[in-house]
A = this chain, B = another copy of it.
Amino acid sequence: MAQLALVKPPADAPARGECSDCGLITWCLPAMLDSPEVHQLERVMRHRRAISRNGSLFHAGDALGSLYIVHSGSVKTTIVDDNGREQVTGFSLPGEIVGIEAIDGGKYPCNVTALEDSSFCGIHYADLNRLCQGSPPLQSHIHRVMSREITRDYGLIFMLGSMDAEERMATFLLNLVKRCPSSADAGMRLRLTMKRQDIASYLGLRVESISRILARFSAAGVIEVCGREINVTNMQALEHVLADRGKTASSLPRKPAISWTRPVIF
């Protein structure tokens, strides 16, 4: 589970399915390149899965089999309560792990659904656990991956507990840009793979609010919106949405699209 979904996979499918051929290796195993563990992992991490759009990698309640690394595409993670209410807890991109929440309890506590046609590297948890025994660096890596997920969750908790709607959207977009490989491209152009409803759920808001806030940002010249394509034209203004709130009240104009066609400072 990683922070936010987006755009192009950083690399194409590996030639033979070997980890060492895969462009994602720096993500999956950053600390262990060239180490023998990588080759051991390759043996164990043999199985690949492809899931088409709206398909499910696993459902909440399924027995924990494998942890998965997103190889291409993107997914959303959702949890459902007893009453059937659903909540998106995150979006995952190539190189990021899903399934680690299942280690305690032996069951996946969440659903993982493909937002587009996607593929995954699977590794049986039991195998991974065994591999960890002999490999301190691999074990540390696992610890760090899990710990990073906890840290990520804290960020989300902070957002949901302390931020208003515009701040949440700004956070979402900024995170998106930061994680987007193509953010180096001129223009910070994003192609969202999830629908508005998913964003709404993730941000703890309603679909209508998402539309309204995007429209407001757009009117203020901070972004350009065209369906699921979003072009961030003024990063600093987005950052200021966050920075200003802690103290000041002010914000982007709510009803009228007056003023603010360009931010004052920049």
Interface residues of A (CB under 8 A from B): 79, 81-85, 87-89, 100-105, 109-110, 129, 132-133, 136, 139-140, 142-151, 153-154, 156-158, 160-162, 201-204, 242-243, 245-247
Inter-subunit contact A154/B110 (CB<8 Å): yes
Docked Cα-Cα span, A85 to B160, in Å, equals 13
Q: How many copies of this protein are present in the complex?
A: 2
> Counting chain B CB atoms within 10 Å of each CB, which of A144, A147, A203, A204 scores highest?
A147
* CB neighbours of A89 from chain B (8 A): 154, 157-158
Q: How far is the CB of A204 from chain B (nearest CB, A)?
A: 4
Inter-subunit contact B150/A149 (CB<8 Å): yes
Inter-subunit contact B81/A158 (CB<8 Å): yes
* CB<8 Å pairs between A and B, sample of 21: A79-B157, A81-B162, A87-B157, A87-B158, A87-B161, A87-B162, A89-B154, A103-B147, A104-B145, A104-B147, A104-B151, A105-B148, A105-B151, A110-B154, A129-B139, A129-B140, A133-B133, A133-B136, A150-B150, A150-B153, A161-B203
Contact A147 to B100, CB < 8 A, known contacts A133-B136, A160-B161: yes
**Shortest Cβ distance from A83 into B: residue:** B246
Q: Is the interface of A mostly helix, strand, loop or mixed?
A: helix
> Counting chain B CB atoms within 10 Å of each CB, which of A87, A104, A150, A243 scores highest?
A150
Inter-subunit contact B147/A153 (CB<8 Å): no
Extra contacts besides A83-B242, A150-B153 (11): CB < 8 Å: A79-B154, A82-B242, A100-B150, A101-B154, A129-B140, A133-B136, A143-B146, A146-B146, A153-B154, A161-B201, A161-B202
Docked Cα-Cα span, A201 to B162, in Å, equals 8
Inter-subunit contact B85/A246 (CB<8 Å): yes
**Shortest Cβ distance from A150 into B: residue:** B101
**Shortest Cβ distance from A80 into B: residue:** B158
* CB neighbours of A156 from chain B (8 A): 153, 157
